[in-house]
Amino acid sequence: MKKINCLIADDEEIGREIIVGYVQRLDKLNLLGTCANGAEVYNALSKHPVDLLFLDIQMPQLTGIELLRTLKNPPAVIFTTAYREYAIESYELNVIDYLLKPVSFERFLKAVDKFEFITNPGGIINSNALAEPVKEQDAFMYVKADKKMIKVPLKDLMYIEGLKDYVKMHLVNKTIVTYQTLTYLEEKLSANHFLRIHRSYIVSLRHLDAYSATQVEIGKVSIAIGSSYAKDVLKKLEI
């Protein structure tokens, strides 16, 4: 039986290790290597014939989505990500499946089986069998707070306030304090729905009620637009 040559790409070591462990459990999969960023993936694909790429979306240098758009003949791709919000975009890129972290071994097996089902011996993908997109209103992320991982529905997230080494995530019905940086969350959140307006604030565009040249309003809260962000923020809001 010809083995399926796999490549794993994830900027987080624990994310790579989990998928590596799953790949090594299956005799039909052959692990070619792992990558920590989009540039490494691009280089690896030029050196080895890859059948299946397990690809994280948010990575430094080149995101998974940006990478796929640069490839003329990409291998079959299974996204592994902590965020649902890119599901529709991934569907448009004809990915095989969309695995949400933390990925269980059972869900991993289903994705591999799906790859075998929808690819013929020549590796041509049948787009009619690809994953259905996840609805935008179902998107969520997990953050660590109170010694546990808490689910944050993105539709309920109004704005994020940065406070030195931690942030306050202000939701419709509660506030979550997590040890994280605002820059990290800015990279993870979709630019279509969230906007950095100040070095200390990210706001949800869906919850924004009004804005002026110097501030935005979300409910009863007024948040100043940082002077260094003003030009880009106003351009985005006007669009």
Phi, psi of 209 (to 5 degrees): -95, -35
More confident call, 2 vs 239? 2
Residue 120 has pLDDT above 70, yes or no: no
Q: What does the pLDDT look like over 53-76, one tens digit per residue?
A: 999 988 888 888 888 888 888 899
Domains in the chain: ranges and CATH: 4-129 (3.40.50.2300), 136-238 (2.40.50.1020)
Q: What does the pLDDT look like over 73-93, one tens digit per residue?
A: 889 999 998 877 666 666 667
Determine what percent of the chain is predicted with pLDDT higher than 70: 87
Residue 218 has pLDDT above 70, yes or no: yes
Give me the DSSP letters along 103-125. Answer: PPHHHHHHHHHHHHHHB-TT--B
Q: What's the pLDDT at 87?
A: 63
Q: What's the pLDDT at 221?
A: 95
Determine what percent of the chain is predicted with pLDDT higher than 90: 51
Enter the pTM of the model: 0.53
Cα 113 from Cα 100, distance rounded (Å): 17
| H helices present in the chain, as ranges | 13-25, 38-47, 64-70, 87-92, 105-118, 182-188, 230-238
